[in-house]
Structure 1
Amino acid sequence: MSNNNASSNLVVAQRTVKQLRLEASTRRIKVSQAATDLKNFCMQNASKDPLLIGVPSSDNPFRPPKSCSLF
């Protein structure tokens, strides 16, 4: 039982080391650069953003249904 527990701990430790190596090799940029890039992306795509310009009623699948009336 003790041998099984030790091998289990070894497997966990190996996975942890593998994950830490993967995270250490990830390319990183400064937060200020990421914020600038995000701001530029948002400004370039603002004219296409439906949350900013709205959705035309003809294209909106969630528009209120038209009422039907019979005369």
Structure 2
Amino acid sequence: MSKKTIILAQVFISFSMALSMSGIMGFIALGADVLAVWPRSFIIAWPIAFVVSQILTPLSFKLANMLTAEPRAA
């Protein structure tokens, strides 16, 4: 995959995760009152989620590859 595709995918993933998690966790904490604070929470959460995804994506792929690697033939 190209670097451009990976970054664009991370924009979409971080957007959807920040939107859903800020809404879900806000609803758990505040109930229906979440609608008053959700936009601000999302605006703060999205850039954080994007930066964290830039760090964790390569590490996650390395770990997944390590755990699913075929044993080498001797």
Q: Which has the higher helix share?
A: 2
Higher normalized contact order (CA 8 Å, seq sep 6+, divided by chain length): 2
Specify the TM-score bucket, using the shorter chain as the normaliser. Answer: 0.3 to 0.5
Q: Which entry has the higher C-alpha Rg, 1 or 2?
A: 1
